[in-house]
Amino acid sequence: MSSDKPYSADSQLDIDALLFHNKPTPGKLAIAATKPMSTQRDLALAYSPGVAAPVRAIAADPDAVYDYTSKGNMVAVVSNGTAILGLGNLGPRASKPVMEGKAILFKRFADIDAVDIEIDYTDPEEFIACVRGFGDTFGGINLEDIKSPECFDIERRLREMLDIPVFHDDQHGTAIIATAGLINACDITGRKLEDTKVVLCGAGAAGLSVLELIESIGVRPENTIVVDIDGVVYEGREGLHERLAKHAVKTEARTLAEAAVGADVLLGLSAAGVFTKEIIASLAPNPIVFAMANPTPEITPEAVKSVRDDVIMATGRSDYPNQVNNVLGFPYIFRGALDVRARTINEEMKIAAARALAALAREDVPDEVAVAYKGERLQYGRDYIIPSPFDPRLISWVPPFVAKAAVDSGVARLPFAEGVNYTHTLARRLDPTAALQQRVAASIRAEEKTIVFAEGEEPSVIRAAHAFQSQGLGKAILVARENVALANMRELGIPTDTLEICNARLSEHNSDYADFLYGRLQRKGYLRRDVQRLVNNDRNVFSACMLKMGQADGMVTGVTRHSNVVMRDVKLALEPVEGGRAVGVAAAVSRGRTLIIGDISVTEFPDAQALAEIAIATANAARRFGLTPHLAFLSYSSFGNPPGERSEKMQHAVRILDELGVDFEYEGELAADIALDPDHHELYPFSRLSEPANVLIMPAVHSASIAVRLLKAAGGATVIGPMLVGLEKPVQIARLGASVTDIVNLASIAAYDLNKPTA
């Protein structure tokens, strides 16, 4: 399918989305090798002649393909683009961004490698034949955005043909999450599933799958009524396709309003505005309403609340409680299925996933979830019947239920590895970069901080400030001349009334800042006119004064100036925290490990006292990121061997921490490989580190900078930072020419405040 008219983005979000998908590399996926390919021997083992050995092994035992290839952790995300989101039949090419997005969700939430495959066949027979042809190369198939009713037959027949899990997420993903919510909603309202009267509005793929799954867990078919676009699905109604005809019931009701009278549960998978206030008023006492149409539900919680206050409500949206979100399901269902090499995803596995999610919602809510709800300590109840998609326990909670159900129902090739080791293995799969950023974003949304963007005339800074504010991360203030900033906003297509602009020269606080700065600098060679000129003309100085005087909570700068120049300007107005010092910290995140490294940008050659202060600031930053610090002072030596002046400096820093009695693990001096070795106690049984180091203190800025760049370039780590800690107010300094995403991330870090003590 194609259009004669070129697409024109009509909002800043659309523009940003196009840039996100285009820069720096088109698309959202890449393929990375899992083995080194640097020597002739590597090539010989990876391809000819070495590859012949696994070929022969698989020929002798076909299941050995799981042992010698990536099949066991590889899912194909397959679509023909006939039902893309809410956009309709736009064809396979147009579906590719969505399928790539689905693939990265597999990776992000469950560490499953996924490949998107878009097929240019609308005929079901051709589509089925195509998928059957390539299907066996994958560990599972996720069907997506295929129109109803063809999707039902396509999934059923492929499940019969292929010896791997085939899962149509549009059907079963929503069904599993909605079923989990219904289990808990019935529990809270004191209902038994077998006695519950259910009305389903919307007889598409998702709606019928929800109905069938809740019937599998106890809802009786005779207690359900289905309503589609033509009204109630009743016995004798003509023109029903086979899947829908199975749900026809004897009833006098012919409209949704008639069917809903006295119903306990109203499920919506239809369209915006379909549920009226009159329909809500006619439901049974303590009704359960799941309005799951996206992006606008069948009725809003506000409208329901205006009619009655005894409703348990769920929607598909993240800005309301009880979000029915498919990402709670498919990554973890496939994770469990792949881990036992399941041949299919059957009803038992789907029920197990639903019951697992329902059980997780009844557990104590972790901090990562609590802060996402503006600090409210949520607990199981009417507004919390479904776990948050960002609950970090999902990866280790749901897959074991699914894997066990696969084994118990006889569709697994491997036994279930029940126990602590399996759950720990699952937990380590979580993308640590995303976990860090998720923790930051959730927290600052709850705290609503004001962040100053000091270089407010720069287009990239304006876009970052707009993104920061529109994402609900906090309030943004641009320090800029109004005419320049407004002209650039109009050029960028950003509404000119969305961002506050503060002109340093014209600010009502200008003289107050000058008075403060003169009092601070008059004995350091500055005249009154000098500090007035700084306040008027230097946006970094002005912004730092805003922080000092309480007109803002944090600032981000550095896009147009070198970091050492920015630091000099900022320190004219701000001091280090009491008893501390400014420190540049980086988080280097790679698969299964996060390292917090300091100091990488501020103190060039720290002495022992400075190293101790750097250690304290860096350990606190690690805690703010949710890590328990296990800190190592690094050197070329370990515990005095070989001896040297620089290693003695690190030893002295350890003694200073001994005297201070800090409340985290630390050790040193240690060579880097020893500090990161989980078995280093075998050689050094006296080491105070109970686990491999995750906080590394470097002997000098140059060694820290070199290490971080090596980790990024050669080690494949994702590096966040440098992040500035240790100033009395949160300031983050971007690199010259930083991207919009980098600026937004640093603004978020400023709002998060890495100096803030952890509970």
**Selection from 136, 169, 138, 129 nearest residue 151 by Cα:** 169
Tokens of residue 578, six digits: 């009491």
The stretch 727-749 carries a mean pLDDT of: 87
Per-residue confidence at 372, pLDDT binned at 50, 70, 90? low
Catalytic annotation, pick one of 7, 28, 35, 47: 47
The stretch 710-726 carries a mean pLDDT of: 80
Asked if pLDDT for residue 645 goes beyond 80, the answer is: no
Specify the pLDDT at position 75. Answer: 96
What's the mean pLDDT when you consider all of the chain?
88
Asked if pLDDT for residue 653 goes beyond 60, the answer is: yes
The total of other beta-carbon atoms located within 10 Å of residue 269's CB is 28
Specify the pLDDT at position 201. Answer: 95
Specify the pLDDT at position 433. Answer: 60
Q: Give the integer Cα–Cα distance in Å for 14 and 89.
A: 20
Task: Bin 441: left if φ > 0, else alpha if -120 < ψ < 50, else beta.
Answer: alpha
Tokens of residue 567, six digits: 């630091």
Asked if pLDDT for residue 368 goes beyond 60, the answer is: no
Q: What is the DSSP string of 697-739?
A: E-SSHHHHHHHHHHHHHTS--EEEEEEEESBSS-EEEPPTT--
Q: Give the integer Cα–Cα distance in Å for 11 and 13.
A: 5
Tokens of residue 649, six digits: 């400096």
Specify the pLDDT at position 486. Answer: 94
Per-residue confidence at 758, pLDDT binned at 50, 70, 90? low
Specify the pLDDT at position 371. Answer: 53
- N residues, the chain: 759
Residue 531, judged by CB atoms within 10 A of its CB (0-12, 13-18, 19+), counts as buried
Asked if pLDDT for residue 595 goes beyond 70, the answer is: yes
**Selection from 403, 280, 386, 387 nearest residue 341 by Cα:** 403
Tokens of residue 446, six digits: 């709850």
| Nearby residues of 592 by Cβ (< 8 Å), 6 or more positions away | 428, 432
Per-residue confidence at 420, pLDDT binned at 50, 70, 90? low
Query: What element of type H or E holds 107?
Result: helix 92-110
Tokens of residue 302, six digits: 């506000």
Q: Per residue in 501-518, pLDDT tens?
A: 999 999 999 999 999 999
Lowest-confidence segment of 41-55, 139-153, 232-246, 419-433 by average pLDDT: 419-433
Specify the pLDDT at position 255. Answer: 94
The stretch 361-379 carries a mean pLDDT of: 65
Tokens of residue 17, six digits: 């989305």
Asked if pLDDT for residue 526 goes beyond 80, the answer is: yes
CA 655 vs CA 242, 608, 609, 652, 668: distances in Å? 77, 9, 10, 5, 10
Specify the pLDDT at position 519. Answer: 92
Specify the pLDDT at position 431. Answer: 58
Per-residue confidence at 539, pLDDT binned at 50, 70, 90? very high
Q: Please identify which residue in the block is written with the tokens 């956009």.
A: 87
Asked if pLDDT for residue 717 goes beyond 60, the answer is: yes
Per-residue confidence at 370, pLDDT binned at 50, 70, 90? low
Asked if 200 and 267 touch (Cβ cutoff 8 Å), the reply is yes
102 assigned to active site: yes
Q: How many CA atoms within 13 Å lie on the side-chain side of 176? A: 32
Sequence letter at residue 158: L
Specify the pLDDT at position 518. Answer: 92
Q: Please identify which residue in the block is written with the tokens 């890495």.
A: 754
47 assigned to active site: yes
Q: Per residue in 9-52, pLDDT tens?
A: 667 777 778 888 887 778 887 887 777 777 888 888 888 888 89
Asked if pLDDT for residue 121 goes beyond 90, the answer is: yes
Q: Give the integer Cα–Cα distance in Å for 587 and 435.
A: 12
Asked if 344 and 333 touch (Cβ cutoff 8 Å), the reply is no
Asked if pLDDT for residue 704 goes beyond 90, the answer is: no
Specify the pLDDT at position 355. Answer: 96
Q: Is 638 helix (H, G, I), strand (E, B) or coil?
A: strand
Specify the pLDDT at position 708. Answer: 84
Asked if pLDDT for residue 647 goes beyond 70, the answer is: yes
Specify the pLDDT at position 657. Answer: 92
Phi, psi of 682 (to 5 degrees): -65, -35
Per-residue confidence at 366, pLDDT binned at 50, 70, 90? low
Q: Give the integer Cα–Cα distance in Å for 210 and 145.
A: 17
Sequence letter at residue 692: P
CA 212 to chain centre: 31
Asked if 221 and 196 touch (Cβ cutoff 8 Å), the reply is no
Q: What is the DSSP string of 657-675?
A: HHHHT-SSEEEEEE-HHHH
Phi, psi of 49 (to 5 degrees): -95, -10
Q: How many CA atoms within 13 Å lie on the side-chain side of 646? A: 15
Catalytic annotation, pick one of 71, 96, 102, 449: 102
The stretch 710-739 carries a mean pLDDT of: 83
Q: Give the integer Cα–Cα distance in Å for 600 and 225.
A: 64
Per-residue confidence at 344, pLDDT binned at 50, 70, 90? very high
Per-residue confidence at 354, pLDDT binned at 50, 70, 90? very high
Asked if pLDDT for residue 499 goes beyond 90, the answer is: yes
- Preceding omega of 389 cis (within 30 degrees of 0): no
The stretch 410-421 carries a mean pLDDT of: 83
The residue among 319 and 383 whose pLDDT is bigger is 383
Asked if 475 and 500 touch (Cβ cutoff 8 Å), the reply is yes
- Pairing type for strands 265-268 and 450-453 reads unpaired
| Nearby residues of 696 by Cβ (< 8 Å), 6 or more positions away | 595, 596, 597, 598, 631, 632, 634, 672, 675, 707
The stretch 687-715 carries a mean pLDDT of: 86
CB-based contacts of 443-446 (< 8 A; 24+ apart in sequence): 443/371, 443/752, 444/473, 444/474, 444/748, 444/751, 444/752, 445/371, 445/372, 445/374, 445/472, 445/473, 446/371, 446/372, 446/373, 446/374, 446/375
